[in-house]
Amino acid sequence: MSNTREIVASAPGKVNLHLGVGNARADGYHELVTVFQAVERRERVRIVVEDESACVESGSVVVGMQTHFHVDVPDEDIDTPRNLTWRAVDAVVDAVRARSGVQGLSLPKAKLVVDKHVFVAGGMAGGSADAAAGLVAANAYVERYCGERLSEEDLYDLAVGLGADVPFALHGHTALGTGRGDALVEVLGRGTYWWVFCNPKIGISTGKAFETLDDLRHDNPALVPHLDTAALSQALVTGDPRELAKHLHNDLEAAAVAMRPRIAALITRIESETELVARAIVSGSGPTIAALCFDEEAARALETVLRDNVEGVEVFCTSGPSAGAQLEA
At residue 23, does pLDDT exceed 90? no
Position 1 confidence tier, pLDDT thresholds 50, 70, 90 = very low
115, 130, 165, 251: which is the annotated catalytic residue? 165
Contact (CB, 8 A) for 155 and 132: no
pLDDT, tens digit (0-9, with 9 covering 90-100), for 33-43 = 999 999 999 99
Q: Provide the residue type at 238 as one letter.
A: T
Per-residue pLDDT at 79: 58
For the chain, percent of residues with pLDDT exceeding 90: 86
pLDDT, tens digit (0-9, with 9 covering 90-100), for 138-149 = 999 999 999 999
Q: What is the pTM of this model?
A: 0.94
Contact (CB, 8 A) for 132 and 172: no
At residue 2, does pLDDT exceed 60? no
How many CB atoms neighbour CB 296 within 10 A?
12
Contact (CB, 8 A) for 43 and 117: yes
Alpha helices in the chain (DSSP H): 84-100, 126-146, 152-162, 166-171, 206-219, 230-238, 241-245, 253-259, 262-271, 296-309
Q: Are strands 76-77 and 174-179 parallel, antiparallel or unpaired?
A: unpaired
To the question of domain 193-320 being in CATH 3.30.70.890, the answer is: yes
For the chain, percent of residues with pLDDT exceeding 70: 96
Q: Provide the residue type at 255 as one letter.
A: A
Mean pLDDT, range 196-223, rounded to an integer: 94
Contact (CB, 8 A) for 270 and 238: no
User: CATH fold of 5-185, please?
Assistant: Ribosomal Protein S5; domain 2 (3.30.230)
Per-residue pLDDT at 78: 61
Q: Please give the Cα distance from 225 to 215 (Å, whole number).
A: 13
Q: Are strands 30-49 and 76-77 parallel, antiparallel or unpaired?
A: unpaired
For residue 129, what are the β-bridge partners?
A: none
Q: Please give the Cα distance from 64 to 284 (Å, whole number).
A: 30
51 an active-site residue?
A: no
pLDDT, tens digit (0-9, with 9 covering 90-100), for 227-276 = 999 999 999 999 999 999 999 999 999 999 999 999 999 999 999 999 99
Per-residue pLDDT at 4: 79
116 an active-site residue?
A: no
14, 109, 111, 116: which is the annotated catalytic residue? 14
Per-residue pLDDT at 75: 59
> Where exactly are the structural domains of the chain?
5-185, 193-320
Per-residue pLDDT at 103: 64
φ and ψ at residue 167, rounded to 5 degrees: -60, -40
SS3 265: helix
